[in-house]
């Protein structure tokens, strides 16, 4: 066992390389386990099915409730993913392993947030066509994908920060939605309105204010998380 | 030339709300020392190591690790520090090699492939290098955890109860790795409840009780097989 090791000196790892390494690690781990996206997907599809079976709707009413049902589905299923994503880090002490690295802690935040965003978008890409089929409505529109991207970005940005807080408590499964849902009301509201606008083919001038709100809250949530993440993860 | 001070702690206080865990603790470790930090449950050992590892902030007091003050230069400290706990700090769905590659990339290591080979050989995991860590036994995971901790060749390595949950053979292998790390001139601090094991490993024994160091002795001071007596007397006297 008494082998010799060469002398090596760590140096500061480039910021983007750290972010990329965390995203790579999360995606590879998820590809192997499939426990996170699978859970989100099953939950999302169940919500859609339950809405489909419990609400008898006229075709014109379907279009009205679609944005709400869609975003409730994405938000609920997204919470499941956020919780699981941080629990994987916490349960085996991996979060400590990340925090022990000599890297800017905001890079850890961005790595986790981008992974969470990727999982949200994968779920959305599968859920949207299923929704179209079940409700017999064409919701596969380019503008809608933009809204899903912007809404998911804000959701993942603040959700990752709050999940990092919640995961350190015993009641993390309950605490995350309690913390998250009040904070993301502006994102959900703007996303629902923008989605409705695109589905009803409203002129872009009527949708643009909602898109601007989405972009504004995305920026606010990212900046806030960037500033406070270090304090949130430290005891 | 006198060995450099690798850990210097003065009047360290840590409070969690109304509860004071560390009460003005002083602690010094010189380069190359192997210090066993002993104490009953709740004495503050893990909290102290977490502060040294920059995972927790002190409420008051002065700390230096490898010559850098904490928490002011936490990044510089982290680059020179390795930590092993009873949890593996490894990703179960990644292979042994992928885990080391991931953590190596976080430390910006040059020649990472060669380094991973060296470390895997040292911890005896070259063969299962491409197996997912979740398929490893507890002993193999702990060996890989040590590999992760020494991957960046740290000056100081902290071990927080590393023997927890290991069988006899795994403990023996772990001890040989601990001696290997210390034998390369690295500074080691270990917490443990296993007196018999640390007695053969450490060069100095400090007893932590109610948030302060209440006694300290070198192996030469104690002689053979006197650690348990020393430990009990230290706790009774305070």
Query: For the segment B163-181, what is each residue's pLDDT rounded down to a tens digit?
Result: 887 888 888 888 888 888 8
- What is the rounded average pLDDT of the residues A62-72? 87
pLDDT of residue A173: 81
Q: Do B73 and B172 lie in a common domain?
A: yes
Calculate how close chain A gets to B191, using CA atoms only, in Å: 18
Q: Do B104 and B143 lie in a common domain?
A: yes
In a domain, B62, yes or no: yes
The enclosing H or E element of A79 equals: helix A59-91
**Please, which residues 18-77 of chain A have a Cβ atom closer than 8 Å to chain B?**
18, 21, 24-25, 28-30, 32-33
In a domain, A39, yes or no: yes
pLDDT of residue B14: 95
With an 8 Å Cβ cutoff, are A8 and B115 in contact? Answer: yes
- What is the rounded average pLDDT of the residues B40-54? 92
In a domain, A115, yes or no: yes
Please say whether the dihedral angle defined by the alpha carbons of residues A112, A113, A117 and A123, taken in this order, is positive or negative: positive
Give the residue from chain B lying closest to A31, CA to CA.
Answer: B93
Bigger pLDDT: A53 vs B62: B62
How far is the CA of A206 from the CAs of A46, A213, A216, A230, in angstroms?
33, 13, 17, 39
pLDDT of residue A206: 93
With an 8 Å Cβ cutoff, are A21 and B105 in contact? Answer: yes
Joined tokens for residue A125: 């890409």
With an 8 Å Cβ cutoff, are B90 and A92 in contact? Answer: yes
Q: Do B123 and B224 lie in a common domain?
A: no
Angle formed by the axes of helices B96-106 and A15-33, nearest 10° = 160
pLDDT tens digit string along A69-104? 999 999 999 999 999 899 888 888 899 999 999 999
Where in the sequence is the domain holding A128, given as residue range(s)?
15-25+33-233
Q: How many Cβ atoms sit within 10 Å of the Cβ of residue B219?
A: 18
pLDDT of residue A57: 66
Q: Do B127 and B165 lie in a common domain?
A: no
In which band, very low, low, confident or very high, does the pLDDT at A229 lie, cut at 50, 70 and 90? very high
In a domain, B86, yes or no: no
ipTM of the complex: 0.89
Identify which of A5, A93, A96 has the shortest CB distance to residue B118.
A5
Phi-psi label, residue A93: left if phi above 0, alpha if psi -120 to 50, beta otherwise: left
The enclosing H or E element of B190 equals: strand B187-191
In angstroms, the CA B81 to CA B83 distance is 7
- Residue from A37, A97, A105, A169 whose CB has the most chain B CBs within 10 Å, to mutate: A97
In a domain, A109, yes or no: yes
Quote the percentage of chain B above a pLDDT of 90. 61
In which band, very low, low, confident or very high, does the pLDDT at B49 lie, cut at 50, 70 and 90? very high
pLDDT of residue A1: 43
Cβ within 8 Å of residue A8, ≥6 positions away: B109, B110, B111, B115, B152, B153
pLDDT tens digit string along B218-233? 988 887 668 888 888 8
Q: Do B30 and B120 lie in a common domain?
A: no
Of residues A190, A136, A177, A160, the one with CA closest to residue A22: A160
Strand partners, B28: B8
In a domain, B12, yes or no: yes
Chains A and B form CB pairs within 8 A to the count of 124
- Residue from B54, B93, B142 whose CB has the most chain A CBs within 10 Å, to mutate: B93
Joined tokens for residue B104: 């190596």
**Strands B212-218 and B204-209: what pairing?**
antiparallel
What's the structural domain count of chain B? Answer: 2
* This prediction's pTM: 0.89
Q: Do B25 and B72 lie in a common domain?
A: yes
What's the structural domain count of chain A? Answer: 1
In a domain, A42, yes or no: yes
Joined tokens for residue B30: 């010189």
Q: Do B55 and B23 lie in a common domain?
A: yes
Per the CB < 8 A criterion, the answer to whether A139 and A58 are in contact is: no
The enclosing H or E element of B13 equals: strand B5-16
With an 8 Å Cβ cutoff, are A97 and B94 in contact? Answer: no
Of residues A176, A154, A161, A159, the one with CA closest to residue A105: A161
* CATH number of the domain encompassing residue B192: 3.40.50.300
Q: Do B124 and B14 lie in a common domain?
A: no
**Please, which residues 79-138 of chain A have a Cβ atom closer than 8 Å to chain B?**
88, 92-94, 96-104
């023996």: which residue's tokens?
B172
pLDDT tens digit string along A151-198? 999 999 999 999 999 988 888 888 999 999 999 999 999 999 999 999
pLDDT of residue A75: 95
Cβ within 8 Å of residue A204, ≥6 positions away: none
Bigger pLDDT: B204 vs A140: B204
In angstroms, the CA A137 to CA B79 distance is 55
Give the burial class of A202: count Cβ atoms within 10 A of its Cβ; 0-12 exposed, 13-18 middle, 19 or more buried. middle
Calculate how close chain A gets to B3, using CA atoms only, in Å: 19
Calculate how close chain B gets to A30, using CA atoms only, in Å: 8
pLDDT of B81 above 90: yes
In angstroms, the CA A18 to CA B172 distance is 36
In a domain, B85, yes or no: no
Calculate how close chain A gets to B116, using CA atoms only, in Å: 10
- What is the rounded average pLDDT of the residues B200-229? 87
Q: Do B47 and B158 lie in a common domain?
A: yes
pLDDT of A2 above 60: no
Q: Do B146 and B220 lie in a common domain?
A: no
Chain B residues closer than 8 Å to A4 by CB = 184
Where in the sequence is the domain holding B108, given as residue range(s)?
91-153
In a domain, A4, yes or no: no
Give the end of a domain, one of B106, B125, B153: B153
In a domain, B64, yes or no: yes
Peptide bond into B71 cis (omega under 30): yes
With an 8 Å Cβ cutoff, are A3 and B121 in contact? Answer: yes
């Amino acid at each position: 066992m008494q082998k010799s090791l060469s002398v090596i000196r760590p140096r500061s790892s480039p910021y983007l390389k750290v972010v990329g390494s965390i995203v790579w690690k999360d995606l590879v781990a998820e590809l192997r386990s499939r426990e996170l996206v699978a859970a989100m997907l099953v939950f999302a599809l169940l919500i859609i099915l339950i809405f489909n079976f419990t609400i008898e709707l006229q075709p014109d009413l379907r279009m009205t409730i679609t944005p709400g049902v869609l975003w409730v589905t994405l938000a609920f299923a997204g919470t499941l993913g956020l919780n699981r994503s941080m629990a994987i880090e916490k349960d085996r002490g991996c979060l400590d392993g990340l925090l022990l690295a000599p890297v800017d802690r905001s890079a850890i935040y961005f790595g986790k947030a981008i992974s969470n965003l990727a999982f949200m978008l994968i779920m959305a890409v599968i859920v949207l066509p299923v929704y179209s089929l079940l409700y017999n409505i064409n919701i596969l529109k380019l503008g809608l994908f933009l809204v899903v991207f912007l809404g998911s970005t804000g959701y993942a940005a603040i959700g990752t920060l709050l999940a990092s807080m919640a995961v350190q408590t015993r009641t993390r499964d309950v605490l995350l939605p309690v913390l998250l849902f009040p904070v993301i009301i502006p994102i959900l509201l703007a996303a629902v309105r923008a989605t409705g606008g695109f589905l009803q083919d409203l002129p872009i001038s009527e949708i643009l204010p909602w898109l601007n709100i989405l972009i504004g809250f995305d920026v606010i949530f990212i900046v806030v998380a960037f500033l406070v993440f270090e304090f949130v993860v430290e005891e | 030339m006198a060995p450099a001070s690798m850990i210097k702690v003065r009047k360290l206080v840590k409070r969690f709300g109304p509860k004071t865990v560390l009460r003005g603790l002083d602690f010094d470790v010189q380069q190359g020392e192997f210090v066993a930090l002993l104490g009953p449950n709740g004495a503050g050992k893990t909290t102290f190591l977490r502060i040294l590892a920059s995972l927790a902030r002190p409420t008051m007091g002065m700390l230096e690790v490898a010559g850098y003050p904490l928490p002011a230069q936490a990044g510089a400290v982290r680059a020179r520090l390795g930590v092993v706990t009873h949890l593996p700090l490894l990703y179960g769905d990644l292979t042994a090699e992928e885990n080391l590659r991931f953590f190596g990339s976080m430390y910006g290591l040059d020649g990472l492939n060669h380094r991973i080979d060296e470390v895997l050989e040292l911890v005896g995991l070259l063969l299962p290098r491409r197996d997912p860590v979740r398929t490893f036994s507890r002993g193999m995971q702990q060996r890989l955890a040590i590999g992760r901790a020494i991957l960046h060749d740290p000056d100081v390595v902290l071990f927080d109860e590393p023997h927890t949950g290991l069988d006899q053979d795994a403990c023996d292998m772990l001890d040989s790795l601990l001696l290997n790390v210390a034998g390369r001139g690295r500074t080691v601090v270990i917490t443990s409840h296993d007196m018999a094991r640390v007695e053969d490993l450490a060069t100095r024994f400090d007893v932590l009780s109610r948030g302060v160091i209440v006694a300290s002795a070198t192996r030469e001071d104690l002689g053979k097989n006197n650690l348990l007596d020393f430990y009990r007397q230290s706790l009774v006297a305070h």
